[in-house]
Amino acid sequence: MTPFIQARNITLVFKSKTREPVTALSNFSLEVGRGEFVSIVGPSGCGKSTFLNILLGLLRPEAGEMRLNGTPIAGPSQERAMVFQEFGLLPWRTVRANVELGLELKGIPSAERSQRAAELIKLVGLQGFERHYPHELSGGMKQRVGLARALATEPEVLLMDEPFAALDAQTRDLMQAELLQIWGRTKKTVLFVTHSIEEAAYLSDRVIVMTARPGRTKDVLKIQLARPRDYEMRLTAEFNEIKSRIWEVLKEELTPESRI
């Protein structure tokens, strides 16, 4: 059986007029099953985000093949949606209008849009803030809008590019718990890029550790923690064991500067 997401030998080089070309990804391969939650960790600049952007359809690899459900990815499509690190909300749109953006671009009629938006705003717990503008929201609320917007178009794959990196530690813990809940309910396939070993271990079925640039797969770790997971689980010896396993793999790839 073919895997749901299949990346084979992806190579992507960033060329620039002023600087040396940079090989972001080199022969990167990855397979993800339907409904799986997979995190990608790796040193800064290893091409994690680049990989998500290829999967999203915004970047084209020089070589290699990216397939979703057996079909090659040719560009952006409704099956995939991204939650961006810096939220990417349109500042001139209210919460509701931001959530409706993807639906609007798909040409969904207004009545259906607002109904769907209302459901998702409820799902992410933003009732009462429909008419607020992004600048009136906290970071955590902004990312809830980002998540609702991505889910609104009912994608099969949710791509998350360090979605909680811009949030404070407590908000981050809260958002992780809520993401797990929402994931449990919606059964999306999630590809989650993060710098945080703890976050990767807590959320994922599998953690992909990438090498330093040019990024390749260094190791794949299965996280055998039972679900549903809760915050207390993070205090167990088992969880710490998993974290240190990931760390052992990752630390060989970290440059002296990033080890400090």
Partner 1 sequence: MKAKEFYAEHRRLLLGFFSVISLLAAWELLLTYLFPLNPFFFTKPSLIAEAFKEQVRGPKLWHDLAISSRAFLWGFSFAVVIGIPVGLIMGWRRRVEYTLDPFLTALYASPLVAVAPLFIIAFGVGVLGKAALVFLLSVFPFIFNAFAGVKSTDRLLIDVIRSFGGSEKDLYLKVILPSTIPYIVAGARLAVGRGLVGIIVGEFYAASEGIGFAISQAGDTYRLPDMFVGILILSVIAVVLTELMRKLELTLAPWRASEEVRS
Question: Binding partner 1 by CB under 8 A: which of 57, 64, 139, 140?
Answer: 57
| 136 alpha carbon, distance to own chain's centre | 25
- Distance CA(40)–CA(206), nearest Å, equals 9
Residues 59 and 75 sit within 8 Å (Cβ to Cβ): no
Please, which residue, 159 or 250, has the CB nearer to partner 1? Answer: 159
Kindly state the smallest distance separating residue 177's Cβ from partner 1, in Å.
Answer: 26
Residues 221 and 246 sit within 8 Å (Cβ to Cβ): yes
Convert residues 117-156 into a mask of x (bound to partner 1 by CB under 8 A) and - (unbound).
Answer: ----------------xxxx----------------x---
Question: Binding partner 1 by CB under 8 A: which of 5, 7, 30, 56?
Answer: 56
Residues 157 and 191 sit within 8 Å (Cβ to Cβ): yes
Helix (H, G, I), strand (E, B) or coil at 171: helix
Residues 69-98 that bind partner 1 (CB under 8 A): 75-78, 81-82, 84, 86, 88, 90-92
Kindly state the smallest distance separating residue 109's Cβ from partner 1, in Å.
Answer: 17
Kindly state the smallest distance separating residue 166's Cβ from partner 1, in Å.
Answer: 12
Beta bridge partners of 68: 5, 71
Which H or E element spans position 72? strand 71-72
Kindly state the smallest distance separating residue 7's Cβ from partner 1, in Å.
Answer: 18
| 33 alpha carbon, distance to own chain's centre | 15
Q: Is 223 in the site for partner 1 (CB under 8 A)?
A: no
- Distance CA(242)–CA(153), nearest Å, equals 34
Positions that interact with partner 1 (CB under 8 A): 56-58, 75-78, 81-82, 84, 86, 88, 90-92, 101-102, 104-106, 133-136, 153
